[in-house]
């Protein structure tokens, strides 16, 4: 097919993806501080709505980007047509992220079993599982199959929810391992969708700038339609409450979206993806602080919990039960995280310039070289 403009290569780093990842990290920071820095009675429903509103998008963005970014490094690999290298490469990456999740449990949540599930474990497992699928996703039929699998996994979870709730109650240890915080089933569906969308984006990018622009314009239109569907659903079939945890799945006291919330997530993620592309690729807004957060998000995901929970909440016992004070404290925390991220990138740069090629898992996934999730 003839290109409509000069082809645009897929570089190892795309700032709009770092920016989107940075937005997800910011939302997760607010979700954690709203839980750990404020008390229920003095802050009331405002605290509740902030907790719910800030939990809706970040995990979906992180897991979507896991799949979305995998084709970048895969298409550059000279061994991309072979299954073995893909299994080894992405298996190693995934296991490193899983190890980071277990370390987080040990350091930040020492009272809980180290094997408890978490979003990092789901991200790592997604990388392990999606790696072998990369040689197949070149084929249109395989891509449709992956989308069908993503939908089937979620639908099976929804239909099995009553049984799963009883199973978790009867098997608390296995329940903590398999169904705790953003469990692989059904959250791996977001990574599967991201893999298909990421491959389609790279194909559009290789056809030229106009094709890539159409791709993201389509994403924006679909995002608006999803939000309109969300509003229509709320109007015709209002939920109780209209905005809160009881209308979604709660398994092992952890949240998974359902029904109307899915439309809100699809619309929000699609518009954020298209919006960050337009601002940072088309309009060339650098937003360096947001990019730093995205490039070092794994390290900062780890560190911000030590600061917010272990230091501020547990060691110092501080509470910010006043909205201006709470927001000010979060701004200070974000500034500290940006400075830490900038320092981390400098350390890694010096590490590479010194000739060290065997980066640790932490360095590999915390900054500029990673392509899965930061």
User: For the segment 211-256, what is each residue's pLDDT rounded down to a tens digit?
Assistant: 999 999 999 999 999 999 999 988 888 777 788 898 999 998 899 9
- Residue 75, pLDDT score: 73
List Cβ neighbours of 320 (8 Å cut-off, separation of 6 or more).
Answer: 37, 38, 326, 329
Q: What confidence tier does 84 reach under pLDDT thresholds 50, 70, 90?
A: low
- Residue 364, pLDDT score: 44
- Residue 99, pLDDT score: 92
pLDDT tens for 179-216 read: 988 999 999 999 999 999 999 999 999 999 999 999 99
Across the chain, mean pLDDT equals 87
- Computed on alpha carbons and rounded to an integer, the radius of gyration of the chain in Å comes to 21
Q: Is the pLDDT of residue 322 over 80?
A: yes
Q: What confidence tier does 80 reach under pLDDT thresholds 50, 70, 90?
A: low
Q: Is the pLDDT of residue 136 over 70?
A: yes
- Residue 358, pLDDT score: 47
Residues 25-54, mean pLDDT to the nearest whole number: 94
Comparison of pLDDT for 74 and 327, the residue scoring more:
327
CA 145 – CA 43 distance, rounded (Å): 47
Other Cβ atoms less than 10 A from the Cβ of 356: the count is 12
Write the CA distances from 268 to 30, 49, 187, 227, integer angstroms: 17, 17, 17, 8
Q: Is the pLDDT of residue 79 over 70?
A: no
3-state helix, strand, coil in the chain (%, to 5): 75, 0, 25
Best CA proximity match to 292, nearest among 104, 72, 15, 67: 15
Residue whose token pair is 């974000």: 334
Q: What confidence tier does 58 reach under pLDDT thresholds 50, 70, 90?
A: very high
Q: Is 259 helix (H, G, I), strand (E, B) or coil?
A: coil
- Residue 363, pLDDT score: 44
Burial per residue of 197-234, b for 16 or more beta-carbon CB atoms within 10 angstroms, e otherwise: bbbbbbbbbebbbebbbebbeebbeebeebbebbeebe
Hey, what are 131's tokens? 């790696």
CA 359 – CA 12 distance, rounded (Å): 17
What is the percent of the chain with per-residue pLDDT over 70, rounded to a whole number? 88
Residues 4-27, mean pLDDT to the nearest whole number: 74
Q: Is the pLDDT of residue 54 over 50?
A: yes
Q: Is the pLDDT of residue 72 over 90?
A: no
- Residue 8, pLDDT score: 42
Q: Is the pLDDT of residue 164 over 80?
A: yes
């Amino acid at each position: 097919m003839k290109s409509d403009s000069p082809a645009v290569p897929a570089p190892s780093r795309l700032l709009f993806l770092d920016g989107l990842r940075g937005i997800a990290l910011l939302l997760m920071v607010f979700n954690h501080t709203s839980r750990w820095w404020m008390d229920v009675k003095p802050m009331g429903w405002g605290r509740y709505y902030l907790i719910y509103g800030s939990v809706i998008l970040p995990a979906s963005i992180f897991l979507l980007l896991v799949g979305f970014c995998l084709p970048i490094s895969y298409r550059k690999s000279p061994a991309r047509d072979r299954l073995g290298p893909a299994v080894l490469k992405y298996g190693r990456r995934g296991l490193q992220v899983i190890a980071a999740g277990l370390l987080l449990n040990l350091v930040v949540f020492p009272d809980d079993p180290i094997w408890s599930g978490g979003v990092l474990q789901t991200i790592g497992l997604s990388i392990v599982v999606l790696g072998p699928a990369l040689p197949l996703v070149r084929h249109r039929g395989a891509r449709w199959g992956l989308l069908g699998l993503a939908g089937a996994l979620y639908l099976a979870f929804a239909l099995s929810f009553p049984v799963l709730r009883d199973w978790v109650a009867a098997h608390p240890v296995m329940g903590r391992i398999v169904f705790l915080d953003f469990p692989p089933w059904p959250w791996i569906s977001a990574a599967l969708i991201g893999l298909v969308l990421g491959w389609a984006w790279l194909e559009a990018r290789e056809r030229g700038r106009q094709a890539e622009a159409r791709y993201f314009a389509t994403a924006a239109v679909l995002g608006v339609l999803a939000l309109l569907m969300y509003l229509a659903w709320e109007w015709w079939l209002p939920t109780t409450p209209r905005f809160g945890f009881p209308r979604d799945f709660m398994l092992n006291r952890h949240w998974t979206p359902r029904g109307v919330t899915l439309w809100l997530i699809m619309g929000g993620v699609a518009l954020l993806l298209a919006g960050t592309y337009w601002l940072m690729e088309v309009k060339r807004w650098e937003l360096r602080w947001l990019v730093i957060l995205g490039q070092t998000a794994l390290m900062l995901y780890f560190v911000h919990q030590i600061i917010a929970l272990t230091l501020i909440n547990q060691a110092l016992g501080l509470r910010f039960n006043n909205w201006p004070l709470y927001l000010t404290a979060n701004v200070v925390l974000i500034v500290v995280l940006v400075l830490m991220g900038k320092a981390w990138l400098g350390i890694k740069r010096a590490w590479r310039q010194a000739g060290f090629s065997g980066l640790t898992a932490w360095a590999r996934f915390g900054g500029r070289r990673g392509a899965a999730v930061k």
